[in-house]
């Protein structure tokens, strides 16, 4: 695919020390975000953490109180600098797609284009790019949800933006359509190789589409990493439990190992003293034994989850890929069956599951 023709040259995004308040409420706090040219970063966080606000600042729909936003070597916003939204070369797809219902598909896609561009075949070219060739005369209301979303994407891509911003792009779709549309958009973003930030609160979506995932919590980016790194080495207990299931088990660390109630667990880095160690459910194994009882078993088809209550009262989640051998009420033991993992220390001397009071100790 001719990227130059299709999407225009793409550039990286750099957000430095950006803060934003609404009234007295800080919504963004010294946000740092980097997106390399042509890469897709998923901005993942719980509802209300500031994701949309950050996207709107990059698009120029709102102004930051502090900090700087660059695309390539252009300063879009910063002390003494401000580029108007229409001159930023930033394409944005909103959560509700914001299509004009009274305009045709072609009318929607060409809306922001100069007349010369509209006549040059750019609209048709962009519709072809998103797989909607020949549908230019249709009204948006006659299209499926997935097709409407592609119209919104085409409208954002038509002016050849250097970066693309997508706000919860799949939230308007039925669950049955979501996975298929997600794969289509994924393929398109890979083909276009356009720098993209997309907002989501869905971890699976972030992992599937993001070359990197930037996790946002209470107005800050708390960790940005490729999905695999983020999953294996979350830098805080909060991130560990937000991006997937995690057991946080207290123990006593000594060097690259921590002694826990289910035995020794290897660590990715040296640690000493009381820690919480992160154990993903799939790195635990359930065996015949006498350490606890299967309290619950959930069968998901591709795998199953045991909820094992140890005799000291501690609960563990264990995921098994094979058909489950044990049933509710069976006596079992739980064994660690994974590689080196992450531990979080107790800076305040607090222990015993006070997750909020822990900090990362073991980093690779």
- Least separation in angstroms between residue 154's CB and ligand ATP is 24
- Least separation in angstroms between residue 28's CB and ligand ATP is 8
- Least separation in angstroms between residue 218's CB and ligand ATP is 10
- CA dihedral (40, 46, 52, 57) in degrees, to 10, reads -80
- Least separation in angstroms between residue 64's CB and ligand ATP is 13
Residue 39 as a binder of ligand ATP (CB under 6 A): the answer is no
Tokens of 254: 């000594």
Q: Which is nearer to ligand ATP, 47 or 176 (CB)?
A: 47
Under 8 Å between Cβ of 317 and 247: yes
Under 8 Å between Cβ of 85 and 60: yes
Under 8 Å between Cβ of 163 and 105: no
Q: How far apart are CA 241 and CA 235, in angstroms?
A: 11
Tokens of 82: 């401000």
The site string for ligand ATP over 19-38 (x = CB under 6 A, - otherwise) reads ---x----x-----------
Q: Which is nearer to ligand ATP, 129 or 221 (CB)?
A: 221
- Least separation in angstroms between residue 243's CB and ligand ATP is 16
Q: Report which secondary-structure segment, H or E, holds 16.
A: strand 13-22
Work out which of 8, 45, 107, 292 binds ligand ATP, going by CB under 6 A.
45
Tokens of 348: 């305040």
- Helical ranges in 210-295 per DSSP H: 227-232, 237-242
The site string for ligand ATP over 177-216 (x = CB under 6 A, - otherwise) reads ------------------------x---------------
Work out which of 17, 48, 134, 228 binds ligand ATP, going by CB under 6 A.
48
Q: Which stretch binds ligand ATP (CB under 6 A): 29-37, 50-58, 187-195, 242-250?
A: 50-58
Q: Report which secondary-structure segment, H or E, holds 76.
A: strand 74-78
Q: Which stretch binds ligand ATP (CB under 6 A): 44-52, 85-93, 174-182, 266-274?
A: 44-52
Q: Which stretch binds ligand ATP (CB under 6 A): 51-59, 222-230, 238-246, 285-293?
A: 51-59
Nearby residues of 182 by Cβ (< 8 Å), 6 or more positions away: 170, 205, 208, 209
Work out which of 47, 101, 322, 339 binds ligand ATP, going by CB under 6 A.
47
**Is the torsion defined by CA of 11, 16, 20, 25 positive or negative?**
positive
Residues that bind ligand ATP (CB under 6 A): 22, 27, 45, 47-53, 201
């Amino acid at each position: 695919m001719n990227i130059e023709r299709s999407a225009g040259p793409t550039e990286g995004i750099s957000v430095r020390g950006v803060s934003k308040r609404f009234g007295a409420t800080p919504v963004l706090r010294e946000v740092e975000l980097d997106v390399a040219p042509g890469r897709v970063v998923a901005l993942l966080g719980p509802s209300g953490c500031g994701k949309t606000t950050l996207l709107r600042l990059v698009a120029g729909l709102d102004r930051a109180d502090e900090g700087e936003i660059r695309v390539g070597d252009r300063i879009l916003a910063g002390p003494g600098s401000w580029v108007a939204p229409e001159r930023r070369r930033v394409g944005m797809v909103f959560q509700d797609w914001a299509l004009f219902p009274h305009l045709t598909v072609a009318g929607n896609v060409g809306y922001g284009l100069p007349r010369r561009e509209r006549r040059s075949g750019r609209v048709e070219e962009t519709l072809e790019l998103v797989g909607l060739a020949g549908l230019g005369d249709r009204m948006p209301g006659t299209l499926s949800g997935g097709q409407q979303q592609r119209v919104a994407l085409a409208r954002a891509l038509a002016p050849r933006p250097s970066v693309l911003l997508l706000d919860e792009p799949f939230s308007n779709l039925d669950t049955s359509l979501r996975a298929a549309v997600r794969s289509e958009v994924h393929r398109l973003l890979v083909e276009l190789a356009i720098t993209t930030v997309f907002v989501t609160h869905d971890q699976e979506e972030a992992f599937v589409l993001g070359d990197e995932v930037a996790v946002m919590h209470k107005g800050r980016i708390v960790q940005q990493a490729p999905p695999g790194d983020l999953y294996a080495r979350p830098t805080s207990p909060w991130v560990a439990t937000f991006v997937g299931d995690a057991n946080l088990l207290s123990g006593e660390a000594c060097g690259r190992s921590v002694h826990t109630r289910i035995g020794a667990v290897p660590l990715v880095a040296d640690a000493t003293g009381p820690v919480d160690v992160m154990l993903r459910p799939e790195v635990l194994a359930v065996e015949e034994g006498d350490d606890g009882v299967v309290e619950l078993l959930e069968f998901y088809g591709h795998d199953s989850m045991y909820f094992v209550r140890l005799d000291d009262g501690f609960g563990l989640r264990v995921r098994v890929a094979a058909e489950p051998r044990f049933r509710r009420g069976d006596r079992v033991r739980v064994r660690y069956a994974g590689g080196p993992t992450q531990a979080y220390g107790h800076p305040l001397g607090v222990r015993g599951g006070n997750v909020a009071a822990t900090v990362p100790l073991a980093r690779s």
